[in-house]
Amino acid sequence: MIAAHGICKAFDGVQAVDDLSFEVASGEVYGLLGPNGAGKTTTLRVLATLLTPDRGSATVAGHDVVREGEAVRRSIGVVNGGMGLYDRLTGREVLHYFGRLYGMQPAAIDARIAQLDELLELGDTLGRRAGGYSSGMKQKIVVARAVLHDPPVIFFDEATSGLDVVARRAVLDFVRSYPSEGRAVVYSTHVMSEVEELCDRACIIYRGRKIAEGSIAELIAEGHGDDLEDAFFRLVGGDRGARDEIAGVEA
């Protein structure tokens, strides 16, 4: 579903992503794990065609991210922790608006909203204006908006940031249920427990480079750790900066 080869991206001389390669299979939740500033979001923006790589290549759902940007964008959904909604629209109006942008007909949009209501328990968010939503209600509509057109690839980037325990659980359950034959998820986070729960395989990224890749058990074994967090810090060389970055975010 995704193939990235030697991706490099720099900003003002700072290498945000450095020779990064990985592949994501159909039916898989693939994790990008690392502290803030590791290069995770830059990587996802390259894959989503929001940034052009300086070097390297990537395909998403069989489409080249540089040469076939429009086809890539039709094939993906994106969810992050800071996406906004139009405050004066209800949840249903938001979804209808984006459904039409995706080229869907009203009847198909309504049918898909009914499915997503069951999966995400959207409830009264559909009839209320978004300006009055809690953070959890807002994120549920953001997720529904991203998957309304049933794309084969979804990118989640720190998607549970700031959510209460109930909303966080709804997002995690949806991520776990989404992959199937012909569909895959890339889940980017600094939260070790989410990677352990959700991801079939993960790539540890630190300072723009891939440090290790494999199943959770393989990463723990490679890092000679007691758990994923212990293995992570062993694999990045016990770097105090990485510990401080993750501790600061989690605090």
CB count within 10 Å of CB 198 equals 22
What Å distances lie between residue 240 and 77, 165, 243, 244, 248, CA to CA?
A: 35, 29, 5, 6, 12
| Topology given in CATH for the domain delimited by 2-250 | Rossmann fold (3.40.50)
pLDDT on residue 157: 93
pLDDT on residue 36: 86
Domain boundaries defined on the chain: 2-250
pLDDT digits (tens), the chain, 251 positions: 999 999 999 999 899 999 999 999 999 999 999 988 899 999 999 999 999 999 999 999 999 999 999 999 999 999 987 778 999 999 999 999 999 999 999 999 999 999 999 888 898 899 999 999 988 889 899 999 999 999 999 999 998 888 888 888 888 999 998 888 899 999 999 899 999 999 999 999 999 999 999 999 999 999 998 999 999 999 987 655 555 655 554 44
What Å distances lie between residue 144 and 16, 110, 112, 214, CA to CA?
A: 30, 12, 9, 30
Length of the chain: 251
What Å distances lie between residue 141 and 85, 126, 127, CA to CA?
A: 8, 8, 12
Q: Is the pTM of this model over 0.85?
A: yes
pLDDT on residue 166: 84
